[in-house]
Amino acid sequence: MINKILALSLVLLVSYGCGYEVIKNHNSIAIGGIKFSESIPSSIKIKLKDIKIDESEDLFLLVDNYGIKERKTYGGSALRALEGELKGEMTIILQKDNKRIVKQLVSIKNYNVTELNPLAEKETVKKLEERIQRDLVQQIIFEIQMHEM
């Protein structure tokens, strides 16, 4: 019985002494509000619904200027496209009190263009766009977490 009490007190002392704290996940992020520009696709809006809106918070997020650009690299003896690059860009504005922080978020993905089937290439581009959108949402969540610290 005494050993159990000593072990329990030792565990409590060690966990209290090392600064044990519950880890926050991205679902616990709370901001005052989110506004989207017209260029933001609905898939990004749905993914950002995980962020809790709390009217008492004074941090506001404006998501603006979303765009995907495609670039192909040409070469070889036939001078045809060898690889393609998709670049997703988005601007976010974080407002707290009277301060505005403008961040340009970028995600770049490369893919092979040597596919003979053009429909398969279109599907590859579509999947990469989804991956880019997911990356941009993760970057937004990271920026909000860094700003809250």
Instruction: List C-alpha distances in Å: 97 to 58, 111, 125, 126.
Output: 7, 43, 40, 39
pLDDT digits (tens, 9 = 90+) for 72-121: 888 877 777 788 899 999 999 998 888 899 999 999 999 888 767 888 88
Indicate left, alpha or beta for 108 from its phi (over 0: left) and psi (-120 to 50: alpha): beta
pTM for the structure as a whole: 0.74
Closest CA to 90 of 51, 141, 125, 20: 141
Site of tokens 């670039």: 71
- Looking at residue 16, what is its pLDDT? 66
